[in-house]
Amino acid sequence: MEQQAIKNRFGIIGNSPALLYALDVAVQVANTDLSVLINGESGVGKEVFSHIIHSLSARKHNPFIAVNCGAIPEGTIDSELFGHEKGSFTGAVESRKGYFETVNGGTIFLDEIGEMPLGTQARLLRVLEAGEYIRVGSSKVQKTDVRVIAATNKDLLEYTHTGRFREDLYYRLNTVPIRVPALRDRKEDIYLLFRKFAVDFAERYKSPPVQLDSEAINVLSNYPWPGNVRQLKNIAEQISVLAQDKNITADQLSRFLPETHFTRLPALANIQGGVNQKEFNNEREILYKLFFDVKKDVTELKKLFFDVIQNQPSLAGSHNLSTEHFLPSYQPEPMSPVLKGNQPVVINDTGNIADHQEVEESLSIMDAEKDLIIKALKKHRGKRRDASTDLGISERTLYRKLKEYNINE
């Protein structure tokens, strides 16, 4: 079947190269029984690709079912997928068939596969490798012939590193990967989609469709659309309902677009204490900031104690101590830590950059960084996700740091 005919049949709008490539892969893999893993952000239309694969396969006349793994409670997902026997758990008043039994011969689409519990992942792996499953509460092995298409908006490979997803299941599902591009990566399609949604709305409610001027089209195309196609459709319908003038300018359009600080770079969490995230370019600068804040506190404490000794000589005499004996080399010089690029420098009261400041503690950034990571892991009892949030870095970065510093949890 020609690509344009497939796009018309399934309502796919757009001509971006990334979208067309994903469509080509779906068409080519459709007539096989290989497992497919569809990757893409929420709202890009991953389920549409599962329908394409099933409809163009030899299983097209057999059942198709879509299951959202994140919407089923952990305690019942095994029963939903594989069925259960009467009395196998509280509330199981009768035997029940699972999806892998009712869809035998067809296709099952497991959306948000990254939310599937580890125990259920082991059961699914057995289905994929041997076509076998066991109902909850039963010991009888049953056979099934179901094609599995999975989808996720998570980084499953990263999940395997953190123990949240089975590595063997990941590679078994990822036989043929399909990546559906985000809407911001197919800017040439944004106005086409908007116009389609606006026209559909106008036909449904018998009203004139909204029109965008050239500046409004430019604003629309450069908006990051974190909610992707789903968000674009909602905005098109909002404008169609609420706009008094059907000819929309850039200013009018901007009123309907929510403010967003969306970025494609990994985001750093805010640090406790009100540090502005925009001050830093990476997590190393955050560690610089923390390190020099601590060093500044130590310096101020030394200065305070020095002043106390100077102003109360009797205190030193009563302990047979002198200021010279207590702090022989210390000369208080208030200094302020700043960052220049990624390199720390200090500026004294005259405004000149000082080469160094002698302090007793270690100034190794790597040692400070390693020590902070170890403390965070101890604080959160080895839970990487909580530790990475506390440190203000991503879980992936924390994992890399553990390897780099050879930290054993």
Domain of 240: which CATH number? 1.10.8.60
Q: What is the DSSP letter of 393?
A: S
Specify the higher pLDDT residue, 396 or 407. Answer: 407
Residues 6+ apart with CB under 8 A from 317: none
pLDDT at 288: 55
Helix (H, G, I), strand (E, B) or coil at 322: coil
Q: What is the DSSP letter of 321?
A: -
Indicate the pLDDT class of residue 285, thresholds 50, 70 and 90.
low
pLDDT surpassing 80 at residue 87? yes
Q: Which of 194, 225, 223 is nearest to 211 (CA)?
A: 194
- Which of residues 256, 284, 314 is at a domain's end? 256
The token pair at 355 is 């080469």
pLDDT at 367: 79
Give yes or no: residues 356 and 379 share one domain: no
Indicate the pLDDT class of residue 242, thresholds 50, 70 and 90.
very high
Give yes or no: residues 175 and 41 share one domain: yes
pLDDT at 216: 95
pLDDT at 286: 56
pLDDT surpassing 50 at residue 139? yes
How confident is the model over 237-265, as a mean pLDDT? 85
Indicate the pLDDT class of residue 267, thresholds 50, 70 and 90.
very low
Distance CA 177, CA 290 (A): 42
> Among 133-142, 158-167, 297-306, where is mean pLDDT lowest?
297-306
Distance CA 33, CA 30 (A): 8
Give yes or no: residues 47 and 78 share one domain: yes
Q: Which of 227, 158, 168 is nearest to 388 (CA)?
A: 158
Indicate the pLDDT class of residue 392, thresholds 50, 70 and 90.
confident
CB 67 within 8 A of CB 111: yes
Give yes or no: residues 45 and 174 share one domain: yes
Give yes or no: residues 36 and 137 share one domain: yes
How confident is the model over 187-214, as a mean pLDDT? 95
Specify the higher pLDDT residue, 362 or 194. Answer: 194
Give yes or no: residues 146 and 214 share one domain: no
Give yes or no: residues 198 and 339 share one domain: no
Give yes or no: residues 377 and 403 share one domain: yes
pLDDT at 265: 44
Query: How many CB atoms within 10 Å of residue 39?
Result: 19
Specify the higher pLDDT residue, 207 or 265. Answer: 207
pLDDT at 284: 53
pLDDT surpassing 90 at residue 255? yes
Give yes or no: residues 14 and 71 share one domain: yes
Question: What does the DSSP assignment read for 85-147?
Answer: -TTSSTT--S-B--HHHHTTTSEEEEETGGGS-HHHHHHHHHHHHHSEEE-BT---EEE---E
Query: How many CB atoms within 10 Å of residue 81?
Result: 23
Domain of 64: which CATH number? 3.40.50.300
Number of domains in the chain: 4
Give yes or no: residues 146 and 40 share one domain: yes
Indicate the pLDDT class of residue 180, thresholds 50, 70 and 90.
very high
Indicate the pLDDT class of residue 279, thresholds 50, 70 and 90.
very low
Indicate the pLDDT class of residue 1, thresholds 50, 70 and 90.
low
User: Is 270 a domain residue?
Assistant: no
How confident is the model over 3-19, as a mean pLDDT? 93
Rg of the chain over CA atoms, in angstroms?
30
> Over the stretch 29-78, which tens digit does the pLDDT of each residue have?
999 999 999 999 999 999 999 999 999 999 999 999 999 999 999 889 99
- Which of residues 158, 181, 204 is at a domain's end? 181
How confident is the model over 367-383, as a mean pLDDT? 84
How confident is the model over 332-346, as a mean pLDDT? 50
Owning domain of residue 371: 364-409
pLDDT at 327: 44
As a whole number, the mean pLDDT across the chain is 82
User: Is 94 a domain residue?
Assistant: yes
How confident is the model over 9-36, as a mean pLDDT? 95
Give yes or no: residues 50 and 125 share one domain: yes
Helix (H, G, I), strand (E, B) or coil at 330: coil
pLDDT surpassing 50 at residue 163? yes
pLDDT surpassing 60 at residue 335? no
pLDDT over 70 percentage in the chain: 76
User: Is 266 a domain residue?
Assistant: no
Give yes or no: residues 357 and 407 share one domain: no
How confident is the model over 121-134, as a mean pLDDT? 96
